[in-house]
Chains A and B, each alone.
Chain A
Amino acid sequence: MLKIEGLFKQFGGFVAIDDVSFELLEGEKHAIIGPNGAGKTTFFNLVTGHLLPDRGSVAFQGEDITGRPPHRIVKLGLARSFQRINIYPRMSVFENVQVALIARERQELRFFRLAAGLCGPETSELLELVGLDEEADELAGELAYGKQKQLELAIALAENPRVLLLDEPTAGMSPSETEEAIRLIREIADARGLTLLFTEHDMTVVFGIADRITVLHHGEIIASGAPEAVRSDPVVRQVYLGEEEAANGAA
C-alpha cells in the first residue's frame, strides 16, 4: 500500500530520520512507537508531503509521491490527523467537516454554489459516527479537548481515505476518553476497511489496536513485527519499554 525506501531527513546537524525503509500492507493496523524525539512525527510529515525528504522515496499504491504537496497526496486517498489539535477554531463543528467534503468533491472553486446545506447529510453522518452530532453548531474552538480530537478524526475520515495516518490520536486524553477513542478508531477502521498507520505513546492504545508494530529509535527502525514479538524483543525492552517502566517506577 505504502512503500518507503531509504528515507532520510536532517535538520541542521541533527539526523531526524536515518535511512528508514518501511512497508505498510493493505488492511493492517500498524503502530509506530518510540520514545519522545524518535522521529515519529517527522516520519509522518515526510510521508504526507508536509516536509521534503533529503533522500529516499515514498510510493503510495505503486505511485511515487515523493515531494508532492499535501493537497495532491490527500486526493489519492492518504489522509492524516495531527498530534496537536489542528482544526478550524472559528468555524462551526459542522463546517469543519463540511469543508473536507467540499474539497473531496472538488467543489472548492464553485463560486456560485451556496455552501449552506452542501454535503449536509454526509457531514451529519460523520459527526454522528464520532459522537459530535449534538455539537454541530458550536464553534470548534470552544469544544472540550477530547471532542476536538474526535473532530480531527471526523475531518480525516471525511476525505474518505484508504489509508489513515493518525499522529497520537489519544494524546492529552483522560484514561476514559482514551478507551472510548480506541474503541471508536478500531470500529471505524474495521467498518470502512481502512489501512491504519498511527504513532502512539500510550502502550494500552498500541496493544489495543495494532496488529503490527514498528519501533523507531533515534530516527532508525530497531524492530518491526507482531505485537507479542516486539514486546519481548530485548533491544526494544531496553530502549523503550524499559524507559517506560523506569519512568513508571520513578513515579
Chain B
Amino acid sequence: MTGRMTRPVLAACLTVLVLLALVPLLESNYLIDLFNEIMIYALFALSLNVIIGYSGNVSFGHAAYFAIGGYTMAILLTTYEWSLLPAFVAAVAFSFACSAVVAYFCTRLTDIYFAMLTLAFSMLVWGVAFKWRSMTGGDDGFVGVDVPAFIAERVPFYYFSLVVIASAVAVLWVICHSAFGRALLAVRENPVRAGFVGINTRLMRWWAFVVAGTFAGIAGALFAMVHRGMYTESAFWPESATVLIMTLLGGMYSFFGPAIGAASLFLLERLTNEYTEYWPLVLGTILLAILMFLPEGLAGLAQAVRRQILRGR
C-alpha cells in the first residue's frame, strides 16, 4: 500500500483492461456474462475493502448497499421510466445517503459490535425488499428491468459495464492512496495514536463506510441491469459473507487483492460445478485454508514470494 502506482502494477492493470476488452471477441455469451459478473463483484469487493483493509473494521452487511443501488436503479429505470444517467446518479446518491445514515450509528461502535450492527441494518434492508412487494416485487424479485436500447445487447452492455467499472476502480484507487487513505490506514493501525496526532477517528471511519457503500451501490446498479432484475438474495446476509470471503481470499492489505479474490472465487465456483455439486464444501475448505495459512490472502502470498525471490538474489 505504498503511495505510488509502481510501473509493474500499472502495466498489470493495463494488461487486464486490454484482456477484458478483448473478451467479446471470443464470441461466447457464457464468457461475456461470466466476466461481466466478475467485474461487478470485483468492484463490490474492492468497495468492501475500504472498510476492512483500510479502516480496520469488519462489515457483515455490505450487501445492503449493493442491493440499495440495484433496486433503486431497477425501480427508477422501469417503474418510473427514468433515463439512464439520472437513474444511475440517483441510485449512487441513494446508496451514499443510506450508508451515511447507517455509518452514523455503526461508527459509534467498534469491533464485533460494529460488525453486528452492520448485519442488523442489512437485515433491515432485506426486510424492506422482501415485504414492500408493490415496489420491489418482494420474494419474486423485481423482474424485467428496462435497459436503454443502446446498451440492451450483450456486447454493448459489456463495454458499458467495463468503462463504468474501470472508472470507478480508478477513482477508488485515488481515494485509497490519497491523504485520506493514508490517514485512514493510521486509524486502522492504531486508533489511539491517530487520535493523538489530531485525527478524528470516528469521522474517518464514517467516511470510509460511506465511500464503501457508495461504490457498492455502483456495482449493484450494474448488477440490476446485467440481470434485468433484482432479487432479495442480493440483500441477504450470505451475499455479505460471499463478498467478505472474496476480500479475504484476495487479501485485505492490498488494494487490488479483493478484485483478485472475486475473480478467483467465481472461476473456482464455475470449475467446481463442472465436476461436483459440493461447492459449499469446497468454499468452506478454501475459507479454512485462507484463515489458517494465508491471513493476507493471495495478494499477500504473491508479495511474500516476491520478497523471497528478491532476498535470494
Contact = CB atoms under 8 A, between A and B. Distances in A.
Interface string A113-138: 11111100000000000000000000
A115 B189 contact: no
Contact of A116 (B2, B175, B180, B195): B2
Interface residues on B, range: 20 to 34
A162 to B, nearest CB: 14
Contacts of A80: 196
A86 B189 CA distance: 10
Interface stretch (A2-10, A21-29, A35-43, A91-99): A91-99
Nearest to A105: B179
A95 B185 contact: yes
B194 interface: yes
B179 A107 contact: yes
A199 B201 CA distance: 27
Given A88-B185, A114-B3, A117-B3, A71 B179 contact: no
B174 A99 contact: no
A158 interface: yes
A90 B189 contact: yes
Interface in B170-188: 174-175, 177-183, 185-186
Most buried by B among A48, A71, A89, A110: A71
Interface residues of A, number: 40
A71 B201 CA distance: 8
A242 interface: no
A102 B182 CA distance: 9
Nearest to B193: A86
Given A80-B196, A159-B197, A159-B198, A99 B186 contact: yes
A111 B180 CA distance: 5
B275 to A, nearest CB: 39
A99 B183 contact: yes
Contacts of B183: 99, 102-103, 107-108
Contact of B197 (A95, A100, A116): A100
Interface in A58-74: 69-72, 74
Nearest to A152: B193
Contacts, number: 115
B177 A108 contact: no
A115 B179 contact: yes
B223 interface: no
A111 B181 CA distance: 7
A75 B189 CA distance: 21
Given A71-B200, A87-B193, A158-B197, A112 B178 contact: yes
B66 interface: no
B207 interface: yes
A116 B177 contact: yes
B199 interface: yes
B190 A87 contact: yes
B204 interface: yes
A83 B186 CA distance: 19
A155 interface: yes
27 contacts: A50-B196, A69-B200, A70-B195, A71-B195, A71-B197, A71-B201, A72-B198, A74-B195, A74-B196, A79-B197, A88-B190, A90-B185, A90-B253, A99-B182, A99-B185, A100-B197, A102-B183, A103-B183, A103-B198, A107-B179, A109-B179, A112-B178, A114-B3, A115-B181, A115-B182, A118-B179, A118-B182
| List of 10 A-B pairs having minimum Cβ-Cβ separation, nearest first | A116-B3, A88-B189, A108-B183, A115-B182, A103-B198, A100-B197, A107-B179, A74-B198, A99-B186, A110-B179
Given A108-B179, A155-B197, 13 more contacts: A71-B197, A71-B198, A86-B190, A88-B190, A90-B185, A99-B185, A100-B198, A103-B199, A108-B199, A108-B204, A110-B179, A116-B177, A118-B3
Interface of A: 48, 50, 69-72, 74-75, 79-80, 82, 86-92, 95, 98-100, 102-104, 107-118, 155, 158-159
Interface of B: 2-4, 174-175, 177-183, 185-186, 189-190, 192-201, 203-204, 207, 211, 253
